[in-house]
């Protein structure tokens, strides 16, 4: 049973979606930073996909060089503020903190990172500048984490960069696809504006690149093209009744929530199908929007869930119930969905089998599918010689992030199939360096 009242104002929304990692105050940051051991060859650095020099930025916080601390962070990761808030730090840097080995709480690296980076953003500290113009132009398609990181890096090297964005606001999933209790819209926008001010990022929003003619034009006008297109809408899973209006995708649900906040209403009973982190987010957020009952239904066992256990616990703490070994059979209902019929499953020597005759129905007013996103296969196939792997991910060189069509580079979810923003930030930055090396070699 969910414990949250339906938010009817922005204040109530902020209460229900209180930030999981709130900003530290000065005293908290001082004490927390004083605990860091400054490990040699620190495991936290190794665990960070962008390799931020974490002990250094923590020491800089403690010694009162907050600006230097922010520089250390942004030098490795252009989305250092967003990552401090939304990274699954217990699986990355904080999970690697040596304190874990003596059963001590790890240093709160994410929150310390945020403390330093948000200070620079708030005070508009100029840390970076556009490099001397080198006469080269790059088109970046998609303004998510990968695209922004690529563009920022290119700008410091003197490239002219145009960023094409289909939506009306830049930032991709950081703004549209992350649970609202992980980062606020304002925080996402502030970081982009901060980078934009220093590096003059040219966002061309409401401008989808979707046909061959547009691509041909880009190929002609730009020296290189970066694909930061992410992955697409929630995929069709072939469930009978799936097309009913109150059966929606989790990605779409989260985006609507991020844009509408308390104005988005959820009905009384919600079923979320899936076992990944997106499912956890969708379930937890449904509960926080005031749904009376939220059921997370996963076709395999609890242990098999792809979502992090801390995400699952967080959803449960919001009042989400869970069903395991529940394979959806069909959506029940005439005009609109009134429930989901499941069949019980069991694992027989590693293979999932339905238990014959074990069907049952759970009532619902809204069904959210968190069962994976369709890839951008159709769009990507418009590009000549662009190889995709068997899961429709763009094939790239693992160092330069150059595609099989050499004019194209790619990073983020379109390449890794759906990972964290920190991975996108790393890949976008590496692709920028790949572009530089490739053009220099030409």
Partner 1 sequence: MPNLSINFAGIKAPNPFWLASAPPTNSGYQVMKAFDAGWGGAVWKTLGVPVINVSSRYGAMNYGGSRMAGFNNIELITDRPLADNLKEIEEVKKYFPDHAVIASLMVETKEEWYQIIKDVENAGADGIELNFGCPHGMCERGMGSAVGQEPAVLQTIVEWVMEVANIPVITKLTPNISHIVDPGLAAARGGTNAISLINTIKSIIGIDLDTYAPYPVVDGKGTNGGYCGPAVKPIALEMVKELTQHPEIKNIPVSGIGGIETWRDAVEFILLGAESVQVCTAVMHYGFGIVREMKAGLEQFMIDKGYETIYDFKGKALPNVTEWKHLNLKHKVVASIDNDKCIGCELCYIACDDGAHQAIRIPETNGNRIPEIIDENCVGCNLCSLVCPVEECITMEQRDDGTQHLSWNDRSLADSIPTTFNDDRAGGKGHFVPTVDDALKHRKG
Q: Which residues in this chain contact partner 1 in the complex, by CB under 8 A? A: 30-31, 34-35, 37-41, 43, 62, 98-102
84: its two tokens: 């401090």
Phi-psi region of 241 (alpha: psi -120 to 50; beta: other; left: phi over 0): left
Comparison of 97 and 227: residue with beta carbon closer to partner 1: 97
Q: Specify the residue, 98 or 329, whose C-beta has the smaller distance to partner 1.
A: 98
Q: How far is the CB of 54 from partner 1 (least distance, A)?
A: 13
Q: Which is nearer to partner 1, 42 or 87 (CB)?
A: 42
- Pick 56 or 166: Cβ nearer partner 1: 56
CA distances (Å), 172 to each of 35, 165, 177, in order?
Answer: 35, 9, 7
Q: Which is nearer to partner 1, 100 or 246 (CB)?
A: 100
382 CB neighbour count, 10 Å cutoff: 16
Q: How distant, in Å, are the alpha carbons of 58, 60, 63, 78 from that of 67?
A: 12, 8, 11, 15
Q: Which helix (H) or strand (E) holds 345?
A: strand 339-348
Q: What is the largest CA-CA distance in the chain?
A: 70
Which residue, 67 or 202, has its beta carbon nearer to partner 1? 67
Q: Is 101 or 391 the residue whose CB approaches partner 1 more closely?
A: 101
Q: What is the DSSP string of 146-209?
A: HHHHHHHHHHHTT-EEEEE-SSSSS-THHHHTS-TTT--HHHHHHHHHHHHHHH--EEE-S---
How far is the CA of 380 from the CAs of 138, 142, 267, 383, in angstroms?
Answer: 18, 13, 37, 6
Residue carrying structure tokens 């390799």: 51
Q: How far is the CB of 99 from partner 1 (least distance, A)?
A: 7
Cα separation values, 35 from 24, 29, 43, Å: 15, 10, 16
Which CB atom, from 15 or from 399, has the smaller least distance to partner 1?
A: 399
Distance CA 205, CA 13 (A): 28
In DSSP notation, 390-426 reads TTSPBPB-TTT-BBSSTTEEE-THHHHSS--HHHHHH
DSSP state at residue 369: E
User: What b-and-e string marks burial along 240-270, b requiring 16 or more CB atoms within 10 Å of the CB?
Assistant: ebeebebbbbbbebbbebbeebbeeebeebb
Of 20 and 35, which CB lies nearer to partner 1 in the complex structure?
Answer: 35
95: left (phi over 0), alpha (psi -120 to 50) or beta: alpha
Name the minimum Å distance from CB 45 to partner 1. 12
Query: Given the complex with partner 1, which of 102 and 186 has the nearer CB atom?
Result: 102
* Ramachandran sector of residue 125 (left: φ over 0; alpha: ψ -120 to 50; beta: rest): beta
Helix or strand run (H / E) with residue 330: strand 326-332
Provide the minimum distance between the beta carbon of 104 and partner 1 in the complex, in angstroms, as a whole number.
9
């Amino acid at each position: 049973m969910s414990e949250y009242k339906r938010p009817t104002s922005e204040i109530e929304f902020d209460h229900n979606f209180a930030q999981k990692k709130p900003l530290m105050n000065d005293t908290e940051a001082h004490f927390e930073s004083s605990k860091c051991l400054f490990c040699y060859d620190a495991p936290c650095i190794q665990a960070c996909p962008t390799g931020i020099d974490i002990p250094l930025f923590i020491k800089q916080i403690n010694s009162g060089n907050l600006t230097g601390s922010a520089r250390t962070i942004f030098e490795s990761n252009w989305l250092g503020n967003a990552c401090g808030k939304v990274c699954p730090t217990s699986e990355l840097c904080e999970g690697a903190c040596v304190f874990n080995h003596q059963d001590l709480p790890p240093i709160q690296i994410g929150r310390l990172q945020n403390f330093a980076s948000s200070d620079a953003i708030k005070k508009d500290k100029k840390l970076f500048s556009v490099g001397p113009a080198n006469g080269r132009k790059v088109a970046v398609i998609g303004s998510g984490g990968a695209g922004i990181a690529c563009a920022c890096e290119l700008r410091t090297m003197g490239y002219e960069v145009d960023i094409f964005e289909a939506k009306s606001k830049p930032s991709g999933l950081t703004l549209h696809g992350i649970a609202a209790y992980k980062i606020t819209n304002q925080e996402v926008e502030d970081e982009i504006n901060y980078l934009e001010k220093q590096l003059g990022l040219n966002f061309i929003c409401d401008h989808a690149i979707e046909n061959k003619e547009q691509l041909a034009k880009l190929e002609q006008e730009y020296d290189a093209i970066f694909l930061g297109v992410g992955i697409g809408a929630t995929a069709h899973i072939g469930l009978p009744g799936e097309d009913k209006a109150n059966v929606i995708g989790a990605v779409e649900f989260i985006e609507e929530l991020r844009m509408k906040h308390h104005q988005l209403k959820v009905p009384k009973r919600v079923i979320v199908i899936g076992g990944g982190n997106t499912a956890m987010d969708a379930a937890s957020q449904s509960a926080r929007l005031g749904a009376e009952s939220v059921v997370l239904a996963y076709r395999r066992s609890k242990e098999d869930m792809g979502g992090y256990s801390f995400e699952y616990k967080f959803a449960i703490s919001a009042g989400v119930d869970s069903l395991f070994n529940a394979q959806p059979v069909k959506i029940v209902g005439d005009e609109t969905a009134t429930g989901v019929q499941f069949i019980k499953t069991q694992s027989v020597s590693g293979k999932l089998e339905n238990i014959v005759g074990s069907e049952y129905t759970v009532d619902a007013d809204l069904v959210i599918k968190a069962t994976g996103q369709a890839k951008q296969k159709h769009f990507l196939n418009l590009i000549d010689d662009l190889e995709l792997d068997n899961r429709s991910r763009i094939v790239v060189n693992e160092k330069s992030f150059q595609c099989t069509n050499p004019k194209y580079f790619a990073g983020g979810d379109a390449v890794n199939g759906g990972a964290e923003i920190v991975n996108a930030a790393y890949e976008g930055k590496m692709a920028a360096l790949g572009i530089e090396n490739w053009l220099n070699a030409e």
